[in-house]
Structure 1
């Protein structure tokens, strides 16, 4: 009975960690270190789930992977998470190539003055470097209304590129949780 209690306590602790990550995501305060830690903890959680607790945890893990797929794809653990999930739960819910790690992408946070929303640019802060980011380099922004809805501190992924002024952010994707 003692081992079962310890295992149940561990599952509760992991679930509290997942809830904290979701809360931080909802508050738009995620950064790359938090995302990487989340991916590592998710991997550990999949590893420790005992056969007795597989069915009661499968849905939670699958939902976390689905909900945070764009964030997980920024970490080197993503393919191992998918492989381990499919092995552990004897389920091919995720195709092995459905989420791939893209090591060329950087992650940063929008820095904008919300009082001047008409300007067609913002800055992105990543690892103590600020990158210029033009509205046209946001992949999913199609209108001024969408542009004005971008929030200061919002998490984005991007490539480093160049424009006539120098180094800047390109192929910018807002990392939002739906």
Structure 2
């Protein structure tokens, strides 16, 4: 008699929210928030406990990396929405999405360099004046017209 073994690939068991938090390094409260914001999806066990597929770890890694780049959660959600069937991002997905974020990063780098230049010129000043400080109140063109809400305009239909 020949023994035949079934080569069945069993689906790995889902992770509890505690396990997912521990493995991902993200607080359970943050995971609940990601789920509420539509960035992460899970299911409920028969006992009502949150469960997540193992690929949620890769999705969380994507979310955290995108946050490190400086993307907001709505921007991350929009990026994840471009993936077919809400699947976990692949290396090719990351390459495509991260390339689209280059202009955003370039703009942030330029803004930080400009801030550094202003800061260097301001060292020792200590003014933090609403009238003169380029860091505290940059490009205040309305200061000369006085204080208060001068630009508030109420339009009515007549």
Is the pair's TM-score, using the shorter chain for normalization, greater than 0.5? no
Give the structure with the higher percent strand.
1
Higher relative contact order, chain-length normalized (CA < 8 Å, sep 6+): 1
TM-score by length of 1: 0.25
For the pair shown, the structure with the greater C-alpha radius of gyration is: 2
Q: TM-score, normalised by structure 2?
A: 0.27
